[in-house]
Amino acid sequence: MTHPDTDLPPHNGWHLPHVVRALRESREVTHRVRHQGRLRELPSREVLTHIMQGLSAALFPTHYGRPDLNDESIDFFVGHTLHDTLGMLNDQVRRALMFNATADASEDADLAPRAAATVRALAEQLPDIRGALFSDLQAAWQGDPAATGMSEILLCYPGITAIVHHRIAHALLRLGTPLLARLIADIAHARTGIDIHPGAQIGRGFFIDHGTGVVIGETCVIGENVRLYQAVTLGAKRFPADENGHLLKGQPRHPIVEDDVVIYAGATVLGRITIGRGSTIGGNVWLTQSVPQHSNVSQALSRQS
């Protein structure tokens, strides 16, 4: 039997045995962060990155998969990619369900079939997710005069990368795996600079132009054919708390943006307010009150018309 202090590598005067013991004390006693007090397998951010690459390739095979595919090989590629990707996802869903489970061993035994059912349900939603993403592509094509075609948008536009991740993350959230959804959202955030909480409800025909610095909060409800520009924040004005001062989770606290709204760069929209259908919110506007349909709100003129 080895002893943890004596089997450490040479420490060159760094007092490693003391540091290791102090870290163990912090980890196990004074500053524990282990979920529900148990050591668990956690989902892997690296594996989820590969899963998102696989799902993206299944949705848009020649753009995110292989450019040499043809009519004879494309279905085989999609099937093979989904087989491998959904297998990896199944293990990550199992880990996420384990993270949410109680200490009851019998409940843990049910995780494998629950994970398989969750992955099967997501797979069945992929055609609808692709349909929504096609509407987002059309919105980008129609909303950006610089776009030269759908392929450019798929390959080059960070807003499309963000919404691909979001639509899958949102589906996983609704299927009961919030930790995976948050991880996928953060993968997209790291790649694009666009921060969309997976709980946000986003209608079809959604387009984020440029995109850097966009923030969309958990309880946002966004209608169809909405366009945002860079550095737009759809955030909370305040955080409700209970009588003990603890934050109330999941309360509606972010904006509702109705259909056909355009919000220009740098606008900040806070609180559970409603931006009426067909409205335009100008750049750098700070908005904390609802506006009716077909409003034009301009920061430069400090007026609403």
Mean pLDDT of the chain: 91
Residue 40 — pLDDT band, cuts 50, 70, 90?
A: low
According to the model, what pLDDT value does residue 38 have?
58
Q: How confident is the model over 80-126, as pLDDT tens digits?
A: 999 999 999 999 999 999 877 665 555 677 899 999 999 999 999 99
State how far the alpha carbon of 202 is from the alpha carbons of 9, 88, 238, 305, in Å.
Answer: 53, 27, 22, 27
Give the CA angle between residues 140, 145, 146 to the nearest 5°. Answer: 90
Residues 114 and 234 in one domain: no
Q: For residue 22, is it within any domain?
A: no
What integer pLDDT is reported at residue 13 of this predicted model?
A: 74
**Half-sphere exposure of 19 toward its Cβ, with a 13 Å CA cutoff?**
6
Q: How many residues does the chain have?
A: 305
Buried b (16+ CB within 10 A) or exposed e, 175-203: bbbbbbbbbbbbbbbeebbbbbbbbbebb
| Partners of residue 195 on adjacent β-strands | 215
Judged against a pLDDT cut of 60, whether residue 174 lies above it is answered with: yes
Residue 302 confidence (pLDDT): 44
Domain shared by 138 and 230, yes or no: no
Give one DSSP letter per residue of 227-258, joined into a string.
Answer: EE-TT-EEE-S---B-TTSPBPTT---S-EE-
Whether the predicted pLDDT of 244 surpasses 50 = yes
167 in a domain, yes or no? yes
- For position 178, which CATH number holds? 1.10.3130.10
Task: For residue range 255-302, list pLDDT tens digits in order.
Answer: 999 999 999 999 999 999 999 999 999 999 999 999 999 999 997 654
Cβ pair 181, 170 in contact under 8 A:
yes
Domain region containing 165: 37-193
Summarize the confidence of residues 216-240 as an average pLDDT.
Answer: 95
Residues 93 and 174 in one domain: yes
Nearest-angstrom CA–CA distance, 34 and 198: 24
> What is the reported pLDDT for 238?
82
User: pLDDT tens for residues 197-225?
Assistant: 999 999 999 999 999 999 999 999 999 99
Share of the chain above pLDDT 70, in %: 90
Please say which residue of 143, 158, 193 terminates a domain.
193
**Taking the model in full, what pTM does it have?**
0.88
SS3 12: coil
